[in-house]
Amino acid sequence: MPLQTGYTVAIAQTALALLLAPGLVGLIRWLKARLQNRRGAPVWQPYLELRKLFAKEVVVSSNASWLFRTAPFVVFASTVAVAFLVPVLAAPLPFDSVGDLLVVVYLLLLGTFFLALAGLDPGSAFGGMGSSREMTVAALSEPTVALAIFALALGAGSTNLGQIVARTMADPAAAVSPGYLLAFGALFVVTLAENGRLPVDNPATHLELTMIHEAMILEYSGRYLALIEWAAWLKVLLFFSLLGNLFVPWGVATVLTWAALGWALATLVAKLVVLAVVLAVFETRVAKLRLFRVPELLAVSFVLAVLAITVSFLVR
């Protein structure tokens, strides 16, 4: 596809992801509220939150350093960089040769790293607790992610996102192969862990016993908090896009025509809604795990990834 339009589509797809992310989280919250017999805030509530936060004054702790002030920008920049790499609408795009699935995972780790440091900067106990727990969960989900990537790459022959998508589209039977399904299960658990959803972390409460992500960003306010929250919502959307477009890639545009892109947009929205419903139902169903039960959940996802590899790797 011509390079110029490829770049335009990449930028457009990132902007689209940024615009849709608060709506997605708003949808999840609204669904959970309805499932819990509440009315719930409207789906566009997160947009209003962002607008409010960007207009507010920032209060910075006197103990904090320049790291506290730059961390929101680093987190946002790294998540937006990932948005350029993930096949949200079309694949392969020009940025496909810049980063593959491993780059995506480690760019997200970059954001987590700086956020954890920013939690320690103001010198409060909550921040330390959040940082410590967040890094523990992130470190323990790494092997699962690596093995899931391995399982996907085995089929496609490369860790390149474009090639993985292309391979599944070329061979539809692979999409329901047990290897892929197991890898999907493993990545779904990792999505819960990395995005701080139940049962790993509760994004709705601010109680110290249940916080991981919220504890790290407790000292943030104003536009910094807006950037961090938006980056977190964008991360949810990107994970959903990965789950949807890597495992069920039909709808992803392979040519850059208006028709293909429109269809890609429609299927993307459909996949996001489906995954949002699944997540909302799941979160309503389970209770939050104690911190020391989370490694057991992550071990389950690890075993799923091991099974995915053995099923696809050793029987060929």
Partner 1 sequence: MSSGVLAVSMIAGYLGGALVACMFSRGRLVRWLTAAGALVGGASALALAGAELTGRSSGNLHVLGYLARPDLGGPQQYVQVLHIVDPLAAVFLAVVGALAIPAALYSVGYTRAWEGRRSLRMPGAMLNLFLLSMSLVPLAGSIFWFVLFWEGMAISSYLLVMTEADEPETVSAGNWYLGMTQFGLGFILAAFFLLLPPDGSGDFTALAKHAATLSPGLKSLVFVLALIGFGAKAGLVPLHVWLPSAHPAAPSHVSALMSGVMIKLGVYGVLLFGLRLLGGGPAWWGGLVLTLGAVSALLGVLYALMEHDLKRLLAYHSIENIGIIFIGVGAGMMFLSYGLPELAVLGFVGGLYHTINHACFKGLLFLGAGSVLHATHTRSMEEMGGLIKRMPRTALFFLVGAAAISALPPLNGFVSEWVVFQALLGGASIPKREVAVLMPVAVAMLALASGLAAACFVKAFGITFLGIARSHEAEQAHEAPASMQVAMAALALACVVLGAAAYAMVPALGRAVAGLGGLPPASAVTVSWRLSVPLSAPGAVGQISPLSILLGLVILLAAIPMALWLFRASRALRVSDTWGCGRIAQTPRMQYTATAFAEPLRRIFAALYRPTEDVSVDFHPESRYFVQSIAYRAHIVPWFERYLYDPVIDRVIAWAARVRAIQSGSLHAYLTYLVGALVIMLGLLMLWGR
Partner 2 sequence: MDSAFGQLTVLGSSLVLLCGLTLLWRRGSAAHINAFAAQSVALAATAGLIAVVTGGRELWVVAVIFLGLKGTLMPILLKRMDRRFGGPRELEPYVNTATSLVIGGLLVVLAYIVTWPILDVSRLPTRAGMPLAMGLIFVSLFVIISRKKALTQVIGFLALENGIALLAMLGTYGIPFIVEIGVFLDALMGFLVMQIVIYRIQETFESIDVEQLNRLSQ
Binding site for partner 2 (CB under 8 A): 173, 176-178, 181-182, 295-296, 298-300, 302-304, 306-307, 310-311, 314-315
Neighbouring C-beta atoms of residue 97, cutoff 10 Å: 10
Which of partner 2, partner 1, none has residue 45 at its interface (CB below 5 to 8 Å by kind)? none
Q: 26 or 111, CB closer to partner 1?
A: 111
Nearer to partner 1, 223 or 288 (CB): 223
Shortest Å, Cβ 294 to partner 2: 10
Q: Give the gyration radius of the chain's Cα atoms.
A: 19
Which residue number, 139 or 266, has a Cβ lying nearer to partner 1? 139
> Are 82 and 107 contacting, i.e. CB atoms less than 8 angstroms apart?
yes
Residue 189 binding partner per list partner 2, partner 1, none, with a CB distance cut-off of 5 to 8 Å that depends on partner kind: none
Q: Minimum distance between the CB of residue 62 and partner 2, rounded to whole angstroms? A: 41
CB of 273 to partner 1, least distance (A): 29
Taking the CA atoms of 272, 275, 280 and 281 in sequence, report the sign of the dihedral they define.
positive
The nearest distance, CB 66 to partner 1, in angstroms, is 8
State the angle between helix axes of 178-194 and 294-313 in degrees (0 to 180), rounded to the nearest 10.
Answer: 150
Using CB distances below 5 to 8 A depending on partner kind, what does residue 78 bind out of partner 2, partner 1, none? partner 1
* d(C-alpha 119, C-alpha 228), whole Å: 12
Nearer to partner 1, 63 or 257 (CB): 63
3-state SS track over 133-184: HHHHHHHHHHHHHHHHHHHHHHHHCCCCHHHHHHHHHHCHHHHHCHHHHHHH
**Residue 284 contact among partner 1, partner 2, none, beta carbon within 5 to 8 Å by kind:** none
- In the complex with partner 1, which residue's Cβ is closer, 113 or 233? 113
CA distance readout (Å), 239 to 87, 120, 213, 215, 309: 11, 27, 17, 22, 21
Q: CB 274 → partner 2: shortest distance, Å?
A: 20
Q: Which does 274 bind (CB under 5 to 8 A by kind): partner 2, partner 1, none?
A: none
Write down the least CB distance from residue 312 to partner 1, Å: 10
Query: How many other C-beta atoms can be found within 10 angstroms of the C-beta atom of residue 39?
Result: 8
What is the rounded distance in angstroms from the CA atom of residue 110 to the CA atom of residue 295? 22
Q: Are 288 and 209 in contact (CB under 8 A)?
A: no
| Cα-Cα end-to-end distance for the chain | 33
Among partner 1, partner 2, none, partner that 194 touches (CB below 5 to 8 angstroms by kind): none
